Structure 1
Amino acid sequence: MHNLQPPVASESSPISPTAITEFRKRSLPPHIIEIQKKEALAMVTEHSGESKEEQPQSQPSFLIRHFYRPARTSGTDDHGSDAAPVSFSFLSRGFITLAATLCLIIVAVLCAVLTSIYVRHQRQEQAIRRSPVHEAIFANFPDPAIVKHEGLYYAFATTNAAGILAQAHNMTLADYGRSNIQMATSLDFKNWTLLDSKHDPLPDLGGWVKRGFNEKHIPFANVWAPAVIKRPSDGKFILYYSAAVENATRSHCIGAAISNTSSPAGPYFPLNTTITCPIKEGGAIDPTPFIDMDGSFYLAYKIDGNNVGRGGVCGNTVTPIVSTPIQLQRMKEDGVTPDGPETTILDRTEQDGPLVEAPFLVRSSGGIYFLFYSSGCTRDSSYDVKYAWAQNVTGPYQRADKPLLKTGDFKLLAPGSVGLTEVMEDETFGMAFHARVEAPYGKVRAMYTSTIRLNGSEVLLVRK
């Protein structure tokens, strides 16, 4: 540290204030000097009117920061403003981020919708696969009857011109009303091939049949409910059918035709006499043959009483209600000649509505006889499939507690008119029936298939 001497005054050189100040500065410690400098600077700042800290500048809004970009200008800012002009831009960071987010949301929603549709479709497919009922022929194929021969299933049905509701007047359906009887074939009882009128198994009708029952351009609209069976006595096939009778108003009667070939496909040659023809009672329809374990030959059918009813639903809901009994006729060995009087095995009750019809007989391995039939009216949703059982083929038959199939079951509308295959290896039976569907040319009766098992006195639908 230097030894500082104070300035000395003399006559020739007096001590100046500046010298004294300099002496004081040099004699002060360094930190005191620094404090004095800061105080002096503060005084200068205060007197000059400047703030110790700069005033905060206003910040641009969120919208401007993220969705605006500097605008392109020509020249300089005339006002000398530091703020550059801005404008909305699709290329701004905010808009790009927002657009990407919206795209992700849309993709996520679409994925969710498509996933939902796929899952729903899969569930519907699984429900169809699990359902015991399968759509077989989407066409007017009413009253199906089934025969299996040499590994091939044959289905026979009422002419396709019969029973169409809300029919289009300008319909141009190919092969419409050209067959007396329809025929289809299948290898697995699920996938069916509908054959055209060139394969009509019954090209000719008996001489007792009335022609031109409906309209002139539909000559074959009066042949209903065929049934086919192989005759044990000679191995020939018999086809039973009902048709309108000559010189009768609208009544049907039952006749038969015989094939000279070894195939159920025919052609069949008709007999010129009827098997049964109760005109006064309304006629007879829905023939179905049955051969019992002892070889006895039977033919079941319906007396078409509602055909002469007083009116109402299916012609028979206005009192007095007319009987519509199901009859069982024993036949001789040839299958076409009645053997003795017929027996009534079932008739309508109040719960059946206007009628019972479409009988089908089968015997279980346990010796129980099952009679399948339909009730209600085929023209509306009341039509259904029912069954009754008995210890003897001639009855008495005990009705089941509930229908086997009705409208709403498996999304069916007016199911009815059952036909069964012969018993299969697993003690089940293939079952065919019709139900109403909407077709381009009206409400028709399409063919459906299912599988049943006879369990004691019950009929069970089986999923296959």
Structure 2
Amino acid sequence: MLKRKLKYSSVLYLIVFCVKPVNAQVHKTSSETVVKNNISEVWVADNGNGTYKNPIIHADYSDPDVIRVGSDFYLTASSFNSVPGLPILHSKDLVNWQIIGHVFDKQSPEERYNTVQHGGGVWAPSIRFHNHEFYIFYPDPDIGIYMVKAKRPAGPWSVPLLIKKAKGWIDPCPFWDTDGKAYLVNGMAASRSGIKSTLVLSRMKNDGTRLLDDGAMIFDGHDKNPTVEGPKIDKLNGYYYILAPAGGVGGGWELALRSKNIYGPYEEKVVLEQGKTVINGPHQGGLVDTQTGEWWFLHFQDKDAYGRIDHLEPVKWVKGWPLMGVDLDGNGIGEPVETYKKPNVGKTYPIQTVQGSDEFNDANLGLQWQWEANPQNNWIFPAGAAYGNLRLYNVPHEGELKNFWQVPNLLTQKFPAPSFSATTKLTFTPRGNDEETGLIITGIDYAYISIKKTPDGMVVSQSKYINAEGGGTETKSNEIQVQS
């Protein structure tokens, strides 16, 4: 059993792995998140009394965007190099969420993402419903902007289409205006393009398949809103509104822009900040309304090793500006809430939580599992209800792999709560000495517990690796003999 207590320098994941074994069967792996009636035992946002607590999802669903279609809410988020990618979550009340699918099983271009690309892949996406279809626009900061669409949010989704080849163009959001014209707004990543703190607007073909010009700068945040990015655009009461995070991930704020002309100039106002709360950098997300006319903002908080976890804030419109959260100090800027009355969606729905534990009784992996790179057909086989286990295979890798940082066939799951226990039952049948299997919590720093075959029998040990990205050093505890 592992109990996560340490603070690490990057997002960490719960992983089942094989180091060398030819035959390892994993049974009833559990992070104690979905044990009884598919409800987590370690984090439930719905208080059961008409209120909720933040975060609504205590897991790394980074840069979330949300829409409502009828009485259903849908959320997508950054997935970076993890595969399957671009998760789709569903809720009936903005508080209780479950994963219903992913946009793709393998990330494009496949040759690139067959190997681990930390920090690459899918950055902040936008999801929209237009002309009876669901659209997602997402950036790959090293390649450009992609578009996918589907008739149903659970899929199948179209093959990703590269509509703008441009390094460093990030965080795209589409907009279809009332006059029939279509646009795309995006930010810029200095790490790839050398440019940041700038929002760009481009004309777009109505079906979203390509951009019609090279774009125009509509907002420059260098003076008061550095690192402005992640724009979401909409039109209300004759104004074009752009909501965008600024100030950086860890200590930033949410900015609102408005103009009567889509190209500006835009007025600006900070609408959400940390204030005196403990919720740092509250920003980057989606504005959504309910069937009853309420408005809400779903955003992330960067929480170190736990990743970017998702919060829900009430929104009131004050003199034409959205006030997010509650204005605790009276300065006209909202601050995040810890608990609040649940959104009024006209009905009450059962408590649900994002999937976690897995008994491996199905013929397919649970939707909570992801790989570090595009999966290959010789990594695993779910055995289904007949066996109730997951068969993991050893796959030799070309070239030298100094540590787990670059290993693609790690089966991962996001941290589900501030504190939790993880257990894995496995059958280990090694062919020879030094074959090893175990359970890992991984990131730039990582640690794992493993069982290994030696000439004297099975031994258990714990290993820790600091600065795996930089090729650091591993320390291992004394090996303990396993009694047969």
Q: Shorter-chain-normalised TM-score: which range?
A: 0.5 to 0.7
**Comparing both structures, which one devotes a greater share of its residues to strand?**
2
Name the amino acid aligned to 1:377: G
Match runs of 1:49-448 below 5 Å: 134-159=54-79, 177-194=82-99, 199-207=101-109, 210-211=112-113, 214=116, 222-232=121-131, 235-244=132-141, 251-259=142-150, 262-272=151-161, 274-279=162-167, 283-309=168-194, 322-353=195-226, 355-364=227-236, 366-378=237-249, 380-381=250-251, 383-400=252-269, 403-408=270-275, 410-421=277-288, 423-437=289-303, 442-448=305-311
Name the amino acid aligned to 1:419: G
Deviation per residue, 1:120-147 (Å, 9 max, x gap): xxxxx99x9889x842110001111112
Two-structure CA RMSD over aligned residues (Å): 3.0
Name the amino acid aligned to 1:375: A
Q: Distance in 2 between matches of 1:209 and 1:284?
A: 22
Change (3 A) 1:417 1:425: same
Residue 321 of structure 2 corresponds to residue 458 of structure 1? yes
Q: What is the SS of the residue equivalent to 1:137?
A: coil
Aligned residue for 1:23? none
How far did 1:211 drift? 1.6
Change (3 A) 1:369 1:427: farther
TM-score, with normalisation over the residues of structure 1?
Answer: 0.54
Q: Distance in 1 between matches of 2:85 and 2:301?
A: 21
How far did 1:453 drift? 3.2
Check whether the contact 2:149–2:158 (CA below 8 A) recurs between aligned residues. yes
How far did 1:386 drift? 1.0
Name the amino acid aligned to 1:203: D
Check whether the contact 1:213–1:221 (CA below 8 A) recurs between aligned residues. no
Q: Distance in 2 between matches of 1:231 and 1:209?
A: 32
Q: Distance in 2 between matches of 1:433 and 1:340?
A: 31
Check whether the contact 1:253–1:278 (CA below 8 A) recurs between aligned residues. yes
Q: What is the SS of the residue equivalent to 1:293?
A: coil
Change (3 A) 1:326 1:409: farther
How far did 1:377 drift? 1.9
Name the amino acid aligned to 1:225: A
Change (3 A) 1:221 1:207: closer
Q: Distance in 2 between matches of 1:271 and 1:182?
A: 14
Q: Distance in 1 between matches of 2:57 and 2:143?
A: 26
Q: Distance in 2 between matches of 1:340 and 1:308?
A: 19
Name the amino acid aligned to 2:140: A
Match runs of 1:6-25 below 5 Å: none
Name the amino acid aligned to 2:298: A
Change (3 A) 1:145 1:278: same
Change (3 A) 1:239 1:213: farther
Aligned residue for 1:111? none
How far did 1:446 drift? 0.4
Q: Distance in 2 between matches of 1:443 and 1:408?
A: 22
Name the amino acid aligned to 1:347: D
Deviation per residue, 1:368-427 (Å, 9 max, x gap): 22111111222x32x221111111222111111xx2222345431122212122x44554
Name the amino acid aligned to 2:221: R
Change (3 A) 1:384 1:418: same
Q: Distance in 1 between matches of 2:111 and 2:298?
A: 28
Q: Distance in 2 between matches of 1:308 and 1:340?
A: 19
Change (3 A) 1:268 1:404: same
**Comparing both structures, which one devotes a greater share of its residues to helix?**
1
Aligned residue for 1:42? none
| Unaligned stretches of 5+ residues in structure 2 | 1-45, 326-339, 342-484
Check whether the contact 1:204–1:269 (CA below 8 A) recurs between aligned residues. no
Q: Distance in 1 between matches of 2:297 and 2:259?
A: 20
Name the amino acid aligned to 1:336: T
Check whether the contact 2:83–2:105 (CA below 8 A) recurs between aligned residues. no
Check whether the contact 2:272–2:323 (CA below 8 A) recurs between aligned residues. no
Name the amino acid aligned to 1:239: I
Name the amino acid aligned to 1:371: I
Check whether the contact 1:203–1:267 (CA below 8 A) recurs between aligned residues. no
Change (3 A) 1:458 1:255: same
| Unaligned stretches of 5+ residues in structure 1 | 1-124, 163-176, 245-250, 310-321
Q: What is the SS of the residue equivalent to 1:200?
A: strand
Check whether the contact 2:296–2:312 (CA below 8 A) recurs between aligned residues. yes
How far did 1:266 drift? 1.8
Check whether the contact 2:296–2:313 (CA below 8 A) recurs between aligned residues. yes
Q: What is the SS of the residue equivalent to 1:412?
A: coil
Aligned residue for 1:61? none
How far did 1:230 drift? 2.4
Change (3 A) 1:456 1:408: closer
Check whether the contact 1:204–1:270 (CA below 8 A) recurs between aligned residues. no
